[in-house]
Amino acid sequence: QPYLKERLVAIVSATKPTDTFVENCLSKQIQLIAFNRNWKIPTLSSVACDHRYGGEAAAEHFITNGHINIGIVEGPTGSFVSNERCKGFKNHFKNLNKIKLFHEIGNFTYEGGFESAKKLLKKNITALFCADDTMAFGCLDYIKENTKLNIPKEIEIIGYDDISTAHWHSYNLTTIRQPIRQMSKLVTQIIDDNIKDPEFEPINHVIQGKFIYRNTTR
């Protein structure tokens, strides 16, 4: 109770809450902040990476390098993050009829990426976009263990997130970096501003990721 009276309670969530939960938080003056997505609820603040921008950046790289047959490894069906990243990627090819896109579901797992690469390589792809780094690792290992394809001369691979493993020598994965530290600082700032000012207006931050070039692209 003392914390509630001083408005010192905040909930940061990546999962969309129910209307009832939102109403309960607001009635108790508990801050509720959307992290890494925008729920588009006017009364709530959010801090998110521009997932579509990252997908667009990956697509532009493949277009520049002249790829025609391109594979996409997506996360679980219904995943907001995967859908946004892949929408940005796919939409960038809308007016380029000569380009063929092939899809597999990797469920954000290493095994899913491994199996997806096995299927997609039958389509003679020369480029591969993965909606997260873990699936990209699975794709890379399948290619290294089961084919003689040269990475990146014969096939390019781009992941997403830039998790710590991405820069390991065994992967050296080109990826889209999520600005997690910057996003976390903004969440902290929102909480602090809300505590200081009872009339604080909800704010939505959308931050672009960064294309990190490593050894899996030319």
* Class of domain 2-50+179-210 (CATH, top level): alpha beta
pLDDT of residue 93 exceeding 90: yes
Please confirm whether the linkage preceding 152 is cis (ω < 30° from 0).
yes
User: How many angstroms separate the CA atoms of 26 and 116, rounded?
Assistant: 44
The arithmetic mean of pLDDT across residues 178-195, rounded, is: 91
pLDDT of residue 154 exceeding 90: yes
Structure tokens at 82: 């995967």
The arithmetic mean of pLDDT across residues 26-34, rounded, is: 79
Burial 75-100 (b: 16+ CB within 10 A, else e): beeebbbbbbbbebbbebbeeeeebe
CB 92 within 8 A of CB 68: no
Q: What is the pLDDT of residue 14?
A: 67
Domains 2-50+179-210 and 52-177 in one fold = yes
Q: CATH second-level architecture of 52-177? A: 3-Layer(aba) Sandwich (3.40)
Closest to 69 measured CA to CA, from 91, 40, 98, 92: 98
Q: How many other C-beta atoms are found inside a 10 Å radius of the C-beta of residue 119?
A: 14
User: What residue segments make up the domains of the chain, in order of their start?
Assistant: 2-50+179-210, 52-177
Higher pLDDT, 29 or 197: 197
pTM (2 decimals)?
A: 0.88
| Beta-carbon contacts of residue 90 (< 8 Å; ≥ 6 apart) | 55, 59, 72, 101
pLDDT of residue 6 exceeding 50: no
pLDDT of residue 109 exceeding 70: yes
Mean pLDDT is lowest, of 15-24, 108-117, 161-170, for 15-24
Higher pLDDT, 109 or 27: 109
